[in-house]
């Protein structure tokens, strides 16, 4: 039982170490959400994404203002805003898909052209080999004709 309590305590300590420290909204207050840390202990250089803490705080403030404005408007205006946001998102997705279709069409066109080029090159090579074969056949027939003419001249005289 004591071991179990100790492991739970250790796991809770590890969880608290990983917790994010958030300042309370009260500007005059020096209190922190985590009471076991002082203000000097905070590392305010950069977060994991490279954004400065002040920039993140400004972003949080901006989002809070947007949330307040969003909460104050009526349901119909909120629905309209959601529809506009969804429409923009769908337009962007549509443009991305159109671009992808064009890119795939270009790839398909290049593949077809490459296939036709390969087919034409194969036919050219086939015709070249046939021309070479016919040239050899012509020279053989000329040699045969010349030898027959020579035999005819020898036997006919």
More confidently predicted of 30 and 97: 97
More confidently predicted of 94 and 24: 94
List the single range of 7-21, 71-85, 91-105 with lowest mean pLDDT: 7-21
DSSP 115-157: HHHHHHHHHHHHHHHHHHHHHHHHHHHHHHHHHHHHHHHHHH-
- Residue 64's pLDDT band, with cuts at 50, 70 and 90, is confident
Please tell me the pTM assigned to this model.
0.33
Over residues 8-54, the pLDDT tens digits come to 888 777 776 666 555 555 554 554 455 555 555 455 555 555 557 78
Distance between CA atoms of residues 139 and 142, nearest Å: 5
More confidently predicted of 42 and 133: 133
Mean pLDDT of the chain: 78
Q: How far is CA 28 from CA 23, 31, 32, 85, in A?
A: 11, 9, 12, 37
């Amino acid at each position: 039982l004591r071991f179990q309590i100790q492991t739970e305590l250790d796991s809770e300590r590890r969880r608290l170490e990983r917790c994010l420290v958030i300042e309370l909204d009260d500007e005059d207050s020096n209190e922190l959400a985590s009471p076991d840390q002082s203000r000097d202990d905070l590392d305010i250089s950069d977060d994991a994404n490279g954004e400065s803490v002040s920039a993140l705080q400004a972003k949080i403030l901006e989002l809070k203002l947007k949330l307040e404005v969003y909460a104050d408007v009526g349901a119909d205006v909120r629905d309209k805003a959601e529809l506009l946001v969804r429409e923009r998102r769908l337009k962007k997705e549509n443009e991305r898909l159109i671009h992808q279709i064009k890119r795939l069409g270009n790839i398909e066109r290049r593949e077809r052209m490459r296939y036709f080029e390969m087919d034409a090159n194969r036919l050219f090579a086939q015709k070249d080999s046939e021309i070479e074969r016919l040239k050899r056949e012509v020279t053989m027939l000329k040699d045969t004709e010349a030898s027959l003419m020579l035999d005819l001249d020898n036997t006919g005289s």
